[in-house]
Copies of this chain bind each other. A is one copy, B any other.
């Protein structure tokens, strides 16, 4: 059978970047917009974002975080208050200079991140330690002007959440930053089936204005690293310039300690690049907007009987708590539908034809392995439960095995160059902690320090640049 969908996708081994773009466009996850660096998130992509949002939002709220909404525009005088922050973001900030025909008295930045405007409000709202901790989050879009568009991964506008918290002490603020990183890790691993390495960024790679940046890093199928979420301990730097003070327990004015943390719609890019295959997207069941799709197969004389049964099946599975879609479209053949839903990554396909009805069964097809199995009609709900679990855990295990297979040890710059030349993946190596060595390795190998893992307890080994014994065992990789 001709397969328009598969023909349309470049195989991963041929050109990973084109494969990625093909999946994004053909599965209608996103499209390019007529504004430099911007995309439109189309309904199938946005449904994944909604699933990510609802899963994370519930987790945030369970820890006491509340949602709020702060202005898109930040006056220049406020935006430029924190020196490192403005230095980091200034080159990519869009500026509003006019409203209607009127020139504004002060330029307004479109937020690249909201530390300064949110901090300005915190300063008003916080008077005493009784007002702490203050824990807010917002779901919104932010802008960072980009030269090129890489859908979901690097775009001039992107959807994200940014959490911002204030605390009495450094310890509490650091605990919160790490707590939120663990929520990201748990969500990525348990829901998105993406194994991650948690750790700390080097100074060179940290957020503009942070004391420390914590990160979760994932390996894509081309071996490159994707920073999937970050959480920052901000110290009292923003508090000092924005004057966020509170009356402490001892009756003295103190500055708050802050954290901020975020994930963006690049998680959709991670899902594509970790689980996808040459037939398209592969979605883990826990985040799939549709966990299963029913494709009825009939001729004119069996139409009513098959469709009637398919609808009953859909009702039954929906009542059992599954997210199930019934594809009743008349203008497409079953074969077309099979390919389209495979492309869109739906975990399970349920085929139902007249002969299935006769033998009181349906056919289940797994998206991840392509395996087919007939299932008795009255065992369907139970089997679906098990199968979704198998797919979920199978995807995670496969991704973890891939990362392990593609992680190498190195102790010299030459070794890193060699690994990057003939293989793909992460390199574990020592690092002496010096910025100069980090820069040298980056320039010579194209890799950067992705993170200093939390659980790095083994002997660090030598720094590949200077050959001295390392302070840390770190992960080097090329990154998105």
Bound form: Cα–Cα A73–B101 in Å:
17
User: At the interface, yes or no: A426 with Cβ under 8 Å from chain B?
Assistant: no
User: At the interface, yes or no: A68 with Cβ under 8 Å from chain B?
Assistant: yes
Complex interface: chain B residues within 8 A of A95 (CB): 96-99
Complex interface: chain B residues within 8 A of A136 (CB): 43
Q: A71-B38, A75-B35, A130-B331 are in contact. Are A100 and B110 (CB under 8 A)?
A: no
User: At the interface, yes or no: A255 with Cβ under 8 Å from chain B?
Assistant: no
Residue from the list B70, B90, B99, B141 in contact with A100, Cβ < 8 A: B90
B98/A31 in contact, CB under 8 A: no
User: At the interface, yes or no: A91 with Cβ under 8 Å from chain B?
Assistant: yes
Kindly supply a per-residue 1/0 record for chain A positions 16-46, scoring 1 wherever the CB is within 8 Å of any chain B CB and 0 otherwise: 0000000000000001011100111111001
Residue from the list B49, B73, B145 in contact with A38, Cβ < 8 A: B73
Residue from the list B40, B46, B67, B90 in contact with A67, Cβ < 8 A: B46
Q: A35-B75, A78-B34 are in contact. Are A91 and B97 (CB under 8 A)?
A: no
Q: A73-B38, A121-B31 are in contact. Are A67 and B93 (CB under 8 A)?
A: no
Complex interface: chain B residues within 8 A of A141 (CB): 69, 72, 140
User: At the interface, yes or no: A283 with Cβ under 8 Å from chain B?
Assistant: no
Complex interface: chain B residues within 8 A of A38 (CB): 71, 73
B40/A69 in contact, CB under 8 A: yes
Kindly supply a per-residue 1/0 record for chain A positions 55-80, scoring 1 wherever the CB is within 8 Å of any chain B CB and 0 otherwise: 00000000000111111111100100
Q: List 28 A-B contacts (CB under 8 A).
A: A33-B71, A34-B78, A34-B117, A34-B120, A35-B71, A35-B73, A35-B75, A38-B73, A40-B71, A40-B121, A43-B66, A43-B68, A43-B136, A46-B68, A47-B66, A47-B67, A49-B69, A50-B67, A69-B141, A72-B157, A73-B143, A73-B157, A90-B101, A91-B101, A93-B100, A94-B98, A96-B97, A96-B110
Measured CB to CB, the residues of A under 8 A from B are 31, 33-35, 38-43, 46-47, 49-50, 66-75, 78, 90-101, 108, 110, 117, 120-121, 124-125, 130, 136, 140-141, 143, 145, 157, 159, 331
Given contacts A40-B68, A47-B67, A73-B157, 19 further A-B contacts (CB under 8 A): A33-B71, A34-B78, A34-B117, A35-B74, A40-B69, A40-B71, A41-B69, A43-B68, A46-B66, A46-B68, A72-B72, A91-B101, A94-B98, A95-B96, A95-B97, A95-B98, A96-B110, A97-B98, A140-B141
Which 5 A-B residue pairs are closest in the complex by CB-CB distance? A43-B66, A99-B145, A41-B69, A91-B100, A38-B71
